[in-house]
Structure 1
Amino acid sequence: MSPAPRSLHQPTRRHLLQAGSTLALAAPAVLRAQSGPKIRIGYWPIAAGLPFYAAVEMGFFKEAGLNVEVQRHAGAQQIMEAMLSDRCDGSANGTGSANIAIGELAAPGTFKIFCSNPSNAKYVLDEVLVPSASPAKVMADLKGKRIASGPGIQNVTLAKTVLERGGATGATVIELPIGQHVAALAAGQVDGCYTLEPTGTIGRLNSSTRVLEAGVISRYVLGDPMAPWFGGSASLTSAFIKKYPAEAQKFIAAYAKGVAHVRSKPADARQYLKGYTAIEGPLTGEVPLAAYTLYNEFTAADIAHFQKFFDLFSDKGIFASRLVVDSMLYKA
C-alpha cells in the first residue's frame, strides 16, 4: 500500500524543479516534420486526452508541418514540472488544471490554457468507485474507510473534499497511481477510490468494481451535478508562444481539429484511446467522454465555474494566493 500523501504546502519554483526527474516514457507516436521547432507535449494516460491522441494519430499536426514529440508522464504534476523546467512545451487535455495553476503561482506568466475538458454527471471523467461486493450505497458509507486517489495535490485535495462534503468523515486518503486503482480495490487493499476514466470502465467490464457516484466534483465542489468542472487543461508555455508564435497558432489550430473530431465523430475517435490509456480494442467504445472547451468558447458562466474550482485551493491554503483563471487563458 502506498504511503500517506506528502504535505500539501505551496511549493516554490526551486522545490518544483528539484521534485525529481520526469517520467517521459515511450509514447505511441512521435511525429517529425521536415523543419521547425520540436514541440514537446506531455500527457497523462487518461481518457480526457482524447483530442490530442486523435490529432496525433490522424496526422493533424503533421499536416500543419509541425514537429510534435509526444511525452508520456506518470502524472499531471510531472508534466507541469517539465514545462516549468523547459523539458516540455505544453500539456494535453487531462493534465490537472490545479497542477498547472501551482506552476503558474511559482512562476507567474508561464502557462497559457487553450483548451479545457469540463466534466459533470453527464460528461463523466471523475468518479468514486468501490469493490463490486461493497455494501456502500452512498458516499457517507465510506466513513472511516481507506480511499485511494490519484497522485498529486489536485487529486488528493479533491478526494478529501468530496469525502468530507459527502459525509464520509474520518476516511483516510492514500495516493496511488491511477493504473493501480482497480487492482487495489479488487485485492481489498482499499475500500474505495476517487479516480478518473477509464478506470471506472475497466473495473466495470471485469466485474471487480462499480461506480458509487460519478461527477462528484460538480456536485460536491461546484454545488451542481451538471456544472462544468474544468479539471484538466491543454496548455502551452508562454515562452514557446512568444518564441514561436506562428507554430503555436498552427499547433492550437491542429489540436482544435482533434477536438472537432471527438465532438463530431466520438465513436471513431474512441479508437485512439488504445496505446495512450489502459483501454484497448472494442473496450474503447465503453468509456464515457468528457466535453471540451476551447479558449475562444469560454462563457462568463464557464469562467465563473472554473474560478470556483481554483478558489477551493486558495481557501484550503494550497494556493499561496488567489489565482484569476482569466489571466491564464490563451488569447489569440
Structure 2
Amino acid sequence: MTSTNRPATVSRRRALQASGAALAALAAPALVRAQTPKIRIGYWPIAAGLPFYSAVELGYFKDAGLDVEVQRYAGAQQIMEAMLSGRSDGSANGTGSANIAIGELASPGTFKLFCSNPSNAKNVLDEVLVPAGSPAKTIADLKGKKVLSGPGIQNTTLAKTVLERGGATGATVTELPIGQHVAALAAGQADACYTLEPTGTIGRMKGATRTLEAGVIARYILGDPMAPWFGGSASLTSAFIRQHPEEARKFITAYGKGVDYVRKQPAEARGFLKGYTAIEGALTAEVPLAAYTMYNEFTTSDIAYFQKFFDLFSDKGVFSARLKVDSMLYKG
C-alpha cells in the first residue's frame, strides 16, 4: 500500500513546489517595487524650479527607475520644515538656500545641496516691482512705503536689506504669497514688492506692474550686479542619501539631465512652467531664466559669493551661528 501511494505523494509534492515557485515569481515584481523608495520632492511655484519640472515631464526620473512624488508648497520654509520632519526627502531648485541653512543649523548634517540656481541682473530671478503707474524711479523712492515680500525668513530678510542699502529708509515689509503680489499692487494694497519670477513677467504682460530693478540681491547684498546669487537650491536629506545611496545618485544624475535640457533648450523648457507656476501659454516664452550650478561645477569664486550670502544672515542674527557653505554641498 505504501509503495502504491508513493507516486501520488511525489506528484503532490511536485505540484506544491511548482505552485510555490509560481507564487514566488508573481511576488518578485511586488518585492522589487516595495524596495524602490518613493522620493518626495518639494517645490514652490517659481520659475527657478524649471529643471525639476522638465525632468518630471520628460520622464528622466521614470527612465532611471525612480518613483518621484511631486509635492507643492506655498513657501520655501515649509519645504525645509517638511524635510526636517521626514515628510519630504528633498527640494527642487528655487527653495531658499537660507531657509535650508536654518534647518541645517537646527539639525546639523541633515541637508545636502546638489544644485543651486544663481541669478543676477542678467539671469533674472529676484526683482522689485511697483504698480505700472508708480512715480518711483529708484529703490530710494520707496522711503516710508509699504513693500511686500514672499513668505519666509529668507525673503523678508533680503527685502529689508535691499531697501535699507538702497536708501529706502522707513519702508515696511509685509509677507504675502508671491502669487498674490501682482493683484495686491494692482489693487493699491502696497507700493512695491520684492518678488521672484515669474511674478514680474505676469505683472508686465498684464500691464499691472513694472520692474523697478532686477537682480537686486547681486547688487545690494553681493556688491556686484553680475555676481551669482545662489538664492535657491535643490537638495536631498542626508538620511535619504545614507539609506538609499544608489537611488540618490540616480536622482541627482536624472536631475542633472533636467538642468542640461534647460541650458540647451530653454525655449522648449519654458513650456513646463505651465501647471507648476502661475504662468501659462505664450507668456511662458517671456520669463527670464536663472542659471544653474551642479555640485561638481562650483568654483572657488562661486563658493565665496555663496558664503557672502550666508554671512548676511549670521550678521543679521537670523542664523544662530556662521555656517560654512562647503559643509552643505553634496560631494558625490
Aligned partners of 1:128 and 1:214 also within 8 Å: yes
Partner SS, residue 41 of structure 2: strand
Could you tell me how far apart the structure 1 residues matched to 2:307 and 2:44 are? 23
Match of 1:325 in 2: 325
- Please say if 1:311 is aligned against 2:311: yes
Could you tell me how far apart the structure 1 residues matched to 2:33 and 2:57 are? 18
Could you tell me how far apart the structure 1 residues matched to 2:276 and 2:175 are? 22
Partner SS, residue 109 of structure 1: coil
Match of 1:276 in 2: 276
Match of 1:126 in 2: 126
CA-atom RMSD in angstroms: 0.7
Could you tell me how far apart the structure 2 residues matched to 1:320 and 1:225 are? 28
Q: Which amino acid aligns with 1:295?
A: Y
Match of 1:48 in 2: 48
- Please say if 1:232 is aligned against 2:232: yes
Q: Report deviation, 1:101.
A: 0.1
Match of 1:241 in 2: 241
- Structure number with the higher helix fraction is 2
Structure 2 residues not aligned, in runs of 5+: 1-31
Could you tell me how far apart the structure 2 residues matched to 1:178 and 1:267 are? 24
Partner SS, residue 119 of structure 1: coil
Q: Which amino acid aligns with 2:278?
A: A
Deviations 1:230-271 (A, max 9, x none): 000000000000000000000000000000000000000000
Partner SS, residue 120 of structure 1: coil
Q: How many residues align?
A: 300
Q: Report deviation, 1:59.
A: 0.1
Q: Which amino acid aligns with 2:286?
A: E
Partner SS, residue 212 of structure 1: strand
Aligned partners of 1:34 and 1:65 also within 8 Å: no
Match of 1:262 in 2: 262
Deviations 1:139-178 (A, max 9, x none): 1000000000000000000000000000000000000110
User: Structure 2 matches for 1:94-173, cutoff 5 A?
Assistant: 94-173=94-173
Match of 2:292 in 1: 292
Could you tell me how far apart the structure 1 residues matched to 2:180 and 2:264 are? 32
Could you tell me how far apart the structure 2 residues matched to 1:294 and 1:69 are? 22
Partner SS, residue 113 of structure 1: strand
Match of 2:200 in 1: 200
User: Structure 2 matches for 1:174-213, cutoff 5 A?
Assistant: 174-213=174-213
Deviations 1:190-238 (A, max 9, x none): 0000000000000000000000000000000000000000000000000
Structure 1 residues not aligned, in runs of 5+: 1-32
Partner SS, residue 136 of structure 2: coil
Could you tell me how far apart the structure 1 residues matched to 2:312 and 2:45 are? 25
TM-score when scaled to structure 2? 0.90
Could you tell me how far apart the structure 1 residues matched to 2:167 and 2:38 are? 48
Q: Report deviation, 1:82.
A: 0.2
Match of 2:9 in 1: none
Could you tell me how far apart the structure 2 residues matched to 1:272 and 1:52 are? 10
Match of 2:19 in 1: none
> Which portions of structure 1, spanning 4 or more consecutive aligned residues, are displaced by more than 3 angstroms?
none
TM-score when scaled to structure 1? 0.90
User: Structure 2 matches for 1:76-95, cutoff 5 A?
Assistant: 76-95=76-95
Aligned partners of 1:112 and 1:235 also within 8 Å: yes
Q: Report deviation, 1:94.
A: 0.2
Partner SS, residue 129 of structure 1: strand
Q: Which amino acid aligns with 1:312?
A: L
Match of 1:21 in 2: none
Q: Report deviation, 1:282.
A: 1.0
Partner SS, residue 235 of structure 2: strand
Identity of counterpart residues, as a percentage?
A: 81
Partner SS, residue 205 of structure 1: helix
Q: Who wins on radius of gyration, i.e. which is larger? A: 2
